[in-house]
Chain A
Amino acid sequence: MKTIVPFREGLFESGAEQGVLLGSRCRQCGQVVFPGRPSCLNCLGEEIEPVRLGRRGRLYTYTIVHMPSEHFPQPYAIGWVELPEGVRVFSQLKGWQEQPLKTGLEMDLSFETLWEAEDKEVIGYVFRPVKGAKA
């Protein structure tokens, strides 16, 4: 059995039935960022609250990569997904062979195995097109 480890600590909660991405919001200027920060990069405010970001967003842009990478066999898809809080999240995109990607497409958050190392399985966030969604 391989140990399941998150891609990064503190970026998301995936234990519950439906995982979420964890961002932060500045109580002073309202700026929401992902990954969350202990203080605000926008106004340097110190009062920060954690935010569980919305799971559904729109594909801001995407690309199919035909180049080698450390963890992903080619071709693979990556893109920026714009979440309801106005935050853009860079992510691996899955399910694009079944449902072609399009700028503006509705995308759903999912937690999956990103890659496997010798003794561990690294899990993280990916986005998939919402079934039947149109851009």
Chain B
Amino acid sequence: MREVAIIGAGSTVFGKLPDKLPYQLGAEAARAAIKDAGIKARELQFVYSANLYGGMVIGQAVMAEAGVTDVELTNVENACAGGATALRKAWWDIASGLYDMGIAVGVESMSNSLIADKLIPPARGDITGELGMNMVARFALAQRRYMDTRGVSLEQIARVSVKNHHHGSMNPYSQYRKELTIEQIVNSRPICEPITLLQCCPATDGAAAVVLAAADKAKRYTRYPITIAASVLRSGDYNFRWADMTFSDMTHKCAVAAYTMAGLGPEDVNLCELHDAFAVNELMHYVELDFCKKGEEVRLLEDGVTEIGGRLPVNASGGLLSKGHPISASGVAQVVELVWQLRGQAGERQVTNAKTALAHVIGGEVTGLESGAVAVHILKR
């Protein structure tokens, strides 16, 4: 298996962008990544493009606009893990020796989707969906159990949102650039109790892209190649095997596999972007990613360990909570942020001396399964 490096990273600004169609968003990110890599568009040998709500063959429309045609091009969908899936597949196409250089792009325009201003509908015939389940409720149910069995308060959970909005306030790519207080978050409108509006990520339009190359060829293009040390993707297991709804078995298994693949441990990680679709997720993921033992996660947050300036900054970009969550773009956008951070190009929110970074996303709902998909990537400079 060959070593693979990221040689280019690009992103649109995230936000409400109803005037930009999905292919325009995607092309903007792809062009930025190609320019950043210092390559010509026609040097790309293959494309993986992730999208959920844009319709058929979005990847072709995106890449045609960016000057890439007549190549192997695959459209992928894995809900919120779609972008990470595109990255994983692009990594393998180079690691396996099939190609030397390609691009992974994730794009979502919620404003231009058929469900704009609506809820994500349950799949037809989905029993729990028909009985009133939705994406927020799924995590509200986990949060209720978490608070009641582990003695964690709403104020402690809200602190995740305070931290990530603080980080987002320093990120020009972030949908929200505003500091929030614990009081504002706790007192915002209830959505699915105990989750209030400001504990939720927003609906977001945006796109992100990375150019990958075989590591031995990467040095030709950049002085700062970022190596992909681990790439792991897993589907969810049956609910009846899921012992504790406050601990994601699939995230934990995926993380353990990623650490093994990288030959690293959680103690080696200096920087992390994780799936904070709801504030409570971040605390649970600290435990599942083995950053701390069960019961120590609130202290990790309160001691400032996971803030910029701490030992292990988490969601320095602002995370899904503040930077925003354009579904299929998020998995790629996390990696774009980590590349910028590892190269020292993150401006005001720059984390110092990070060498190893981890990206984690989880996505999709299926009755009877814990969740749809989970992905963990570990990057090294």
Q: B-contacting residues of A (Cβ < 8 Å)?
A: 7-8, 31, 33, 35, 41-42, 60-72, 76, 78-80, 87-88, 90-92, 102-104, 114, 124
Name the contact of A63 in the complex, choosing from B127, B144, B240, B241 (C-beta under 8 A).
B144
CA distance A84 to B133 in the complex (A): 23
13 example contacts (A-B, Cβ-Cβ < 8 A) are as follows A7-B131, A35-B127, A41-B368, A42-B240, A61-B142, A64-B192, A64-B193, A65-B193, A66-B191, A67-B136, A67-B192, A104-B148, A124-B131
Find the A residue at minimum CB distance from B242.
Answer: A88
- Does B381 interact with chain A (Cβ within 8 Å)? no
Are the CB atoms of B141 and A79 closer together than 8 Å? yes
CA distance A67 to B121 in the complex (A): 12
Are the CB atoms of B144 and A91 closer together than 8 Å? no
- Does B239 interact with chain A (Cβ within 8 Å)? yes
CA distance A76 to B133 in the complex (A): 11
Which residues of chain A come closer than 8 Å to B144, judged between CB atoms? Answer: 61-63, 103
Which residues of chain B come closer than 8 Å to A61, judged between CB atoms? Answer: 141-142, 144-145, 148, 245
Name the contact of A78 in the complex, choosing from B131, B238, B239, B240 (C-beta under 8 A).
B131
CA distance A72 to B193 in the complex (A): 16
In the assembled complex, the CB of A66 is this many whole angstroms from the nearest CB of chain B, namely: 5
Are the CB atoms of B149 and A103 closer together than 8 Å? yes
Are the CB atoms of A66 and B245 closer together than 8 Å? no
Tell me whether A65 and B145 are in contact in the complex, defined as CB-CB below 8 angstroms, given that A41-B238, A42-B240 are known contacts.
no
Find the A residue at minimum CB distance from B197.
Answer: A66
- Does B260 interact with chain A (Cβ within 8 Å)? no
- Does B263 interact with chain A (Cβ within 8 Å)? no
Are the CB atoms of A63 and B141 closer together than 8 Å? yes
Contact bitstring B347-371, A, C-beta under 8 A = 1, else 0: 0000000000000000000001000
- Does B18 interact with chain A (Cβ within 8 Å)? no
Are the CB atoms of A60 and B145 closer together than 8 Å? yes
Kindly identify, within residues 117 to 159 of chain B, every residue whose CB is under 8 Å from any CB belonging to chain A: 119, 127-128, 130-134, 136-137, 140-142, 144-145, 148-149
Are the CB atoms of B132 and A69 closer together than 8 Å? yes
Which residues of chain A come closer than 8 Å to B309, judged between CB atoms? Answer: none
Contact bitstring B23-47, A, C-beta under 8 A = 1, else 0: 0000000000000000000000000
CA distance A91 to B193 in the complex (A): 16
Are the CB atoms of B142 and A8 closer together than 8 Å? no
In the assembled complex, the CB of B266 is this many whole angstroms from the nearest CB of chain A, namely: 28
Find the A residue at minimum CB distance from B125.
Answer: A8
CA distance A60 to B140 in the complex (A): 13
Which residues of chain B come closer than 8 Å to A31, judged between CB atoms? Answer: 240
Are the CB atoms of B245 and A78 closer together than 8 Å? no
Which residues of chain B come closer than 8 Å to A66, judged between CB atoms? Answer: 189-193
Name the contact of A71 in the complex, choosing from B130, B195, B241 (C-beta under 8 A).
B130
Which residues of chain B come closer than 8 Å to A68, judged between CB atoms? Answer: 119
CA distance A102 to B145 in the complex (A): 10
Which residues of chain A come closer than 8 Å to B137, judged between CB atoms? Answer: 63, 65, 67, 78
